[in-house]
């Protein structure tokens, strides 16, 4: 056989030989065919001390170093839980003003929680992970899972409500969706960051039961079920030690008991002690404010606690190098899982798919709270003219709120959505009230003339058939915003007075509240209808218009209770030492009785209960079907119950299962959520809900034994449509 071009042949042979010979010299840590742990163990000894120290603190505001010499990539982190934040500068919190970093703003996590739909949480995580990929980010700094302890916490809108079980289920699915992309989620803020007031230093004191039964379960689920790859320490102190280097929370509970193999990242500026940072389990120090002594500016990265000074101490033998090896191992593991994961896809930004999932979550999260005389839905064509009043109908609410703020490609406002739905000519609008611009950690006065806005609204309210008042809170300081708590339980910017004045002129008013928190509703008896909408993100107006018009049937349920007044709330009941504390310490005196656990046990009727939400159709609950009554502690309980849609429209209902222990040896809440399932039913359809509840989930945390205990006792399992609407119950016995 005559070769046409023998030299090509020789080159191919050479490459094959070279490849074979060299292949065995591709270092193990670079070879993804090897198990993760052997890659980590192969890389570690190859690193110099300098490279190790560089890896455990920031190299930029949102990045930590890799090892260029070894081809080990750096890590890029990004806020936030609701979307991929616009690019910030290398060395400060100012925006880099890129033109290609507009994102999809997904609904706030309160809205996601209100869907009670873990499948949507998974879709949410998958989509936000794809946007992170596209933006070349390896760690998404979310989800936030801090429990809703008081309606005054400025960051409740970023979290998933008052119940540890609901938060756990939704956060685990979100994390699985994010990490499917080879992008790490970073569950935060670990732990007990339940207020913004004095968040940088307040010391939280609480019982072991409250810690283990209320405030840790969501983090535990994210580690054990969600396999989360990173955790963010909290700013506050817990029992005297800062969250970012808290020996009990990080070394003992997170890394030892829960066997967490990922990376603990500090909150930005949350590190305050070099020694504790090294020995109490912190892995990457981010955002430390340095005095810039040795260079020309704050945040100079060599001045971090775990940087130059640490390097010198190790060099001098004051600290063993092994003290940081475990940190480096965890960071290498994270890098191999993310930035060096060759299976990662390209990702996508503001794709149609992402916009659709954002809208779907918004629609499924909106909660119909009151609907007398079928005020909602407002069918198209039912009224000639609809008057919309309220600044939240037009104010861009993806801006503000702190680190979760987003630069969106488009935000369909409620007014835009309503005009599109009903036709421009059928919608009139007036602002009614106006707030200042949203500025971080600063209250800016409103530029509007409040009286004239108020008068205009009343004048326009006179001769219209129907009014939609779209108000609530916003992302301004002391509203739903990081770095400050609310100063009042009332609607801000004189909305309550405006609503009452409007009602004196026109009774046919539907209130749509956009917020991430409960508010007082002094006008609740006078209005025919109230809808709790959330910060719905890019598709706010579309989702809201679909629900208001009835094109979509609302199915959201409240992820936190709405107390009638602040003093009804457990944390506030115990006064200043409980909330907000005395600027040094605060004591969680309501203990395990958080949210409905408090209202139920203290027999305080909330304005609206946890798990409450109406539909445009009606559901009927059948009898609980259970195969037996006696269970051992390691068994699971299988329950079935028929649910019927007896109304005229298709819809979805979230069936909730709460458990009461009959005669506990310790104080226990009247009941606790142990399962829920959302079911979609066509009109006239009946389906069985099936849930499995492990008996082990009936346990309480025994402070003497420092372990979980299920007592032999009778337990009542309630099937309910909300915490204060039990449909029927069944008793079982644990032997
Ligand atoms: C902020 C927040 C945290 C955020 C981080 C980076 O202070 O507490 O949630 O991810 O700093 O912006």
pLDDT digits (tens, 9 = 90+) for 504-529: 999 999 999 999 999 999 999 999 99
234 C-alpha to center of ligand 1: Å?
Answer: 9
Mean pLDDT of the chain: 96
Q: What is the pLDDT of residues 83-124, one digit of tens each?
A: 999 999 988 889 999 999 999 999 999 999 999 999 999 999
326 to 44, 187, 246: CA distances (angstroms)? 10, 20, 16
Confirm or reject: Cβ of 430 under 6 Å from ligand 1: no
Residue 92, pLDDT score? 84
Atom of ligand 1 nearest to the CA of 142: 10
371 to 48, 133, 235: CA distances (angstroms)? 67, 43, 42
More confident residue, 628 or 296: 628
Q: Write the residue with the smallest CA distance to atom 11 of ligand 1.
A: 268
Confirm or reject: Cβ of 645 under 6 Å from ligand 1: no
Pocket test for ligand 1, best of 193, 403, 404 (most atoms within 8 A of CB): 403
Give the mean pLDDT of 599-619: 98
Residue 282, pLDDT score? 98
User: Is 424 a residue whose pLDDT tops 50?
Assistant: yes
pLDDT band for 290, please (50, 70, 90 cuts): confident
Residue 21, pLDDT score? 65
The pTM is what?
A: 0.96
Q: What interhelical angle do 414-422 and 540-549 show, nearest 10?
A: 50
Q: Which secondary-structure segment (H or E) carries 513? A: strand 509-514
Q: Write the residue with the smallest CA distance to atom 6 of ligand 1.
A: 268
What would the CATH number be for the domain defined by 366-558?
Answer: 3.40.50.1700
Pocket test for ligand 1, best of 186, 268, 289 (most atoms within 8 A of CB): 268
Confirm or reject: Cβ of 404 under 6 Å from ligand 1: no
Q: What is the pLDDT of residues 170-214, one digit of tens each?
A: 999 999 999 999 999 999 999 999 999 999 999 999 999 999 999
Confirm or reject: Cβ of 481 under 6 Å from ligand 1: no
Q: Write the residue with the smallest CA distance to atom 7 of ligand 1.
A: 268
- Closest C-alpha to 228, from 177, 271, 157, 165: 177
203 to 131, 237, 378, 441, 633: CA distances (angstroms)? 36, 4, 49, 21, 37
- Phi/psi at 675 (5° precision): -165, 155
| 79, 138, 163, 267: the active-site residue | 267
Which residues lie closer than 8 Å to 600 by C-beta, 6 or more apart?
A: 669, 670, 671, 723, 724
Pocket test for ligand 1, best of 61, 78, 79 (most atoms within 8 A of CB): 79
Confirm or reject: Cβ of 268 under 6 Å from ligand 1: yes
Confirm or reject: Cβ of 79 under 6 Å from ligand 1: yes
Domain ranges of the chain: 6-337, 366-558, 561-611, 619-734
Confirm or reject: Cβ of 591 under 6 Å from ligand 1: no
- Closest C-alpha to 197, from 487, 569, 546: 487
Answer yes or no: 325 catalytic.
no
pLDDT band for 576, please (50, 70, 90 cuts): very high
42 C-alpha to center of ligand 1: Å?
Answer: 33
Confirm or reject: Cβ of 141 under 6 Å from ligand 1: yes
Burial class (CB in 10 A: 0-12, 13-18, 19+), 709: middle
Residue 289, pLDDT score? 85
Fold of the 6-337 domain: TIM Barrel (3.20.20)
**Same CATH fold assignment for domains 6-337 and 366-558:** no
Give the mean pLDDT of 66-94: 96
pLDDT band for 397, please (50, 70, 90 cuts): very high
More confident residue, 300 or 659: 659
190 C-alpha to center of ligand 1: Å?
Answer: 12
Confirm or reject: Cβ of 174 under 6 Å from ligand 1: no
User: Is 295 a residue whose pLDDT tops 60?
Assistant: no
Q: Write the residue with the smallest CA distance to atom 3 of ligand 1.
A: 267
469 C-alpha to center of ligand 1: Å?
Answer: 33
CB 380 within 8 A of CB 162: no
482 C-alpha to center of ligand 1: Å?
Answer: 9
Classify residue 283 as left (phi > 0), alpha (psi -120 to 50) or beta. Answer: alpha
Confirm or reject: Cβ of 188 under 6 Å from ligand 1: yes
Atom of ligand 1 nearest to the CA of 85: 12
Atom of ligand 1 nearest to the CA of 93: 12
497 C-alpha to center of ligand 1: Å?
Answer: 35
Atom of ligand 1 nearest to the CA of 188: 9
Tell me the percentage of the chain whose pLDDT exceeds 90: 94
Q: Write the residue with the smallest CA distance to atom 12 of ligand 1.
A: 403
Give the mean pLDDT of 536-540: 98
Pocket test for ligand 1, best of 84, 141, 199 (most atoms within 8 A of CB): 141
Give the mean pLDDT of 37-54: 98
54 C-alpha to center of ligand 1: Å?
Answer: 21
DSSP for 663-680 reads S-SS---S-EEEEEEEEE
- Paired tokens of 279: 């020995």
Pocket test for ligand 1, best of 144, 270, 402 (most atoms within 8 A of CB): 402
Q: Write the residue with the smallest CA distance to atom 5 of ligand 1.
A: 268
Q: What is the pLDDT of residues 10-42, one digit of tens each?
A: 766 776 676 566 556 799 999 999 999 999 999
- The CATH number corresponding to 619-734 among 1.20.1250.20, 2.60.200.20, 3.40.50.720, 2.60.40.10 equals 2.60.40.10
522 C-alpha to center of ligand 1: Å?
Answer: 35
CA distance linking residue 622 with residue 271, whole number of Å = 54
* Look-up of token digits 């339980």: 489
CA distance linking residue 351 with residue 511, whole number of Å = 32
Q: What is the pLDDT of residues 133-158, one digit of tens each?
A: 999 999 999 999 999 999 999 999 99
Q: Return the minimum-mean-pLDDT range out of 440-444, 518-522, 618-622, 639-643.
A: 440-444
Residue 224, pLDDT score? 98
Confirm or reject: Cβ of 267 under 6 Å from ligand 1: yes
76 C-alpha to center of ligand 1: Å?
Answer: 14
CA distance linking residue 558 with residue 161, whole number of Å = 8
Residue 12, pLDDT score? 63
403 C-alpha to center of ligand 1: Å?
Answer: 6
Confirm or reject: Cβ of 557 under 6 Å from ligand 1: no
606 C-alpha to center of ligand 1: Å?
Answer: 32
pLDDT band for 293, please (50, 70, 90 cuts): very low
């Amino acid at each position: 056989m005559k070769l046409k071009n023998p030299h090509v042949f020789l080159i191919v042979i050479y490459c094959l030989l070279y490849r074979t010979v060299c292949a065995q010299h591709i270092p193990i840590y670079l070879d993804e065919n090897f198990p993760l742990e052997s890659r980590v163990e192969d890389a570690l000894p190859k690193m110099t001390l300098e490279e190790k120290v560089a890896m455990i603190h920031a190299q930029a505001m949102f990045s930590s170093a890799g090892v260029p010499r070894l081809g080990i990539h750096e890590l890029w982190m990004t806020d936030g839980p609701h979307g991929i934040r616009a690019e910030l500068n290398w060395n400060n919190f100012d925006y880099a003003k890129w033109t290609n970093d507009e994102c999809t703003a997904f609904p706030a996590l309160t809205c996601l929680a209100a869907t009670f739909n873990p499948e949507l949480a998974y879709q949410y995580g998958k989509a936000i992970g794809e946007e992170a990929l596209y933006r070349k980010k390896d760690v998404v700094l979310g989800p936030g899972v801090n429990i809703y302890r008081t309606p005054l916490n400025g960051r409740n809108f970023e979290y998933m409500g008052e119940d540890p079980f609901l938060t756990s289920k939704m956060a685990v699915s979100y994390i699985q969706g994010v990490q499917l992309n080879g992008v790490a989620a970073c569950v935060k803020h670990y732990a007990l960051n339940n207020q913004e007031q004095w968040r940088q230093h307040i010391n939280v004191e609480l019982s072991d039961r409250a810690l283990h039964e209320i405030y840790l379960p969501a983090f535990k689920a994210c580690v054990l079920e969600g396999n989360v790859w990173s955790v963010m320490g909290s700013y506050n102190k817990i029992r005297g030690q800062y969250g970012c280097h808290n020996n009990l929370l990080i070394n003992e509970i997170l890394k030892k008991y829960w066997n967490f193999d990922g990376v603990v990242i500090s909150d930005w500026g949350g590190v305050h002690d070099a020694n504790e940072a090294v020995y109490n389990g912190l892995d990457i120090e981010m955002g430390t404010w340095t005095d810039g002594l040795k260079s020309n500016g704050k945040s100079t990265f060599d001045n971090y606690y775990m940087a130059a000074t640490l390097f010198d101490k190790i060099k001098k033998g004051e600290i063993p190098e092994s003290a940081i090896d475990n940190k480096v191992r965890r960071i290498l593991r994270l890098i191999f899982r993310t930035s060096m994961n060759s299976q990662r896809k390209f990702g996508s930004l503001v794709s149609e798919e992402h916009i659709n999932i954002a809208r779907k979550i918004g629609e499924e999260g909106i909660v119909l709270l009151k609907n007398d005389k079928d005020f909602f839905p407002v069918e198209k064509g039912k009224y000639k003219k609809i008057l919309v009043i309220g600044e939240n109908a037009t104010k861009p609410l993806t801006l503000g709120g702190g680190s979760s703020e987003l630069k969106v490609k488009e935000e369909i406002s409620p007014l835009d959505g309503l005009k599109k739905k009903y036709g421009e000519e059928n919608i009139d609008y007036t602002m009614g009230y106006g707030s200042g611009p949203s500025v971080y950690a600063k209250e800016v006065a409103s530029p509007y003339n409040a009286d004239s806005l108020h008068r205009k609204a009343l004048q326009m309210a006179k001769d219209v058939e129907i009014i939609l008042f779209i108000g609530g809170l916003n992302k301004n300081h002391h509203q739903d915003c990081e770095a400050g708590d609310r100063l009042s339980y009332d609607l801000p910017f004189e909305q309550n007075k405006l609503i009452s004045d409007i009602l004196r002129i026109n009774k046919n008013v539907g209130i749509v509240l956009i917020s991430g928190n409960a508010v007082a509703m002094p006008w609740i008896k006078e209005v025919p209808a109230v809808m709790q909408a959330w910060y719905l993100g890019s598709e706010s107006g579309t989702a809201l218009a679909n629900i208001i018009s009835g094109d979509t049937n609302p199915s959201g349920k409240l992820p936190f209770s709405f107390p009638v007044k602040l003093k009804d709330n457990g944390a506030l009941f115990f006064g200043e030492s409980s909330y907000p504390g005395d600027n040094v310490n605060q004591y969680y005196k309501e203990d395990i009785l958080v949210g409905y656990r408090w209202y139920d046990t203290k027999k305080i009727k909330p304005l609206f209960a946890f798990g409450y939400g109406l539909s445009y159709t009606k559901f009927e609950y059948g009898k609980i079907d259970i195969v037996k009554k006696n269970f051992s502690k390691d068994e699971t309980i299988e329950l079935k119950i028929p649910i019927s849609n007896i109304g005229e429209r298709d819809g979805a209902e979230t069936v909730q299962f709460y458990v009461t222990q009959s005669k506990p040896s310790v104080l226990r809440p009247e009941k606790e959520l142990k399962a829920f399932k959302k079911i979609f039913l066509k009109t006239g359809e009946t389906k069985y809900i099936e849930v499995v509840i492990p008996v082990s989930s009936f346990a309480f945390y025994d402070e003497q034994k420092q372990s979980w205990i299920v007592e032999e006792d009778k337990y009542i399992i309630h099937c309910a449509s909300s915490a204060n609407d039990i449909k029927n119950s069944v008793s079982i016995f644990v032997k």
